[in-house]
Amino acid sequence: MRTTFYIQIRISIRSLAMFLIKTWRSMAFGLYGYTNFTKSGFLEHAKKFEPEDMQARIEGKNCIITGANSGIGYATAEGLASRGATVYMVCRDKERGEAAFSRIQAVTGNKNIHLEVCDISSISDIKSFASRFSSKDVPVHILVNNAGLLENKRIITSEGYEMNFAVNVLGTYTMTELMLPLMEKAAPDARVITVSSGGMYTAPLTEDLQFNGKNFDGVEQYARNKRIQVVLTEKWAEMYKDRGIGFYSMHPGWAETPGVAKSMPGFSNALSGKLRTSEEGADTVIWLALQPKENLTSGGFYFDRAEAPKHLPFTATKVSASSERHYYEIVVDLPCRRRRSSIERRPLALRDRTGALLCTVAAWGPNRLLRDFYVFGGFREVGVVAVVTMVVGAGGGGGGSVVYWC
């Protein structure tokens, strides 16, 4: 009885501590956000902006922008198009995409604008887009991962993923990975800009990527997703530091966009007149696209044209580098696990009439070999340590196989 009592006390103390930490996170975020993320915050920070930072021309640069038909994505597309860029607007809805495409062409006079229809919630759709786009054989100088979603109801995609996670995390991850070969052609000036959110200040990393708990909370899931985007950016910067590609995440501030009005009507109404415009929200995205890379920190998190902290004080959202690596591996391994059984049923075979070759490959990192096979449909890069054992068969018609331990 005494043991049970002590266990209950410990559970109660732990629950109280978690409640207090979560409450403090919300309070700290609200206070910091109201001071900095609103329109008044932008106007205050803008006093330190350098006008010449936004005057660069980028003719000849190819820019891909996801979620480009409205809000911050639209403002980014218009801003880059007005500076001479060749802009590829990636939109889910063809009709709305065409309307946005026509408006930007009319406003900027730029004829080098293209509409690409792709549903970022679908890995297969992103792969189809990447295949089509790769056939153009053009370098990609700037990729803006702007497409985002805050869905308050739990919805599962046709591929089996929670909808917010599918768009915000898997969509961002898959699009970036598939564009890397084309971005390497634009090195050393290529860059990936991911539109995250200050909401990530309220979210620690968690293994529950798809929010399988009983009480689904779309706002909390969105915040978790945005935290993961920052971690993805950090890891890409580490992994591809010698490829001539810069990786940056950013917070646009609290902007009045169609997405915010739809997903958080209470928040939007409460701060009516205090929210930023879409153009103000897109300002740092455009700034990151125009700045010389030597002035930026790859892997950094930016807000209002300056590098910003990734954690607020005393909010218990910071973890060790090894823990971040662990969460990163969980993210990139998820699609692999869903495909692993079918891949294992159809192993690649190496056949030689003189005998059999058994090749055991131990993957280094987050199932990197299997991931590359799944995402790219082939081996773009093999970051593995391989141990090869030659087994010579007695007969002339021996067969072999490749075994992947993942």
Token reading at 161: 């993923």
CA separation for the pair 347, 325 (Å, rounded):
28
Dihedral-angle region of residue 257 (phi above 0 means left; psi in -120 to 50 means alpha; beta otherwise)? beta
CA separation for the pair 306, 264 (Å, rounded):
27
What residues form DSSP beta bridges with 156? 162
Query: Any alpha helices (H) in 37-122, and if so which ranges?
Result: 39-45, 71-81, 94-108
What residues form DSSP beta bridges with 324? none
CB atoms within 10 A of CB 164: 27
Please say whether the beta carbons of 301 and 307 come within 8 A. Answer: yes
CA proximity to 79, closest of 53, 98, 97: 53
Helix (H, G, I), strand (E, B) or coil at 96: helix
The catalytic residues are 222
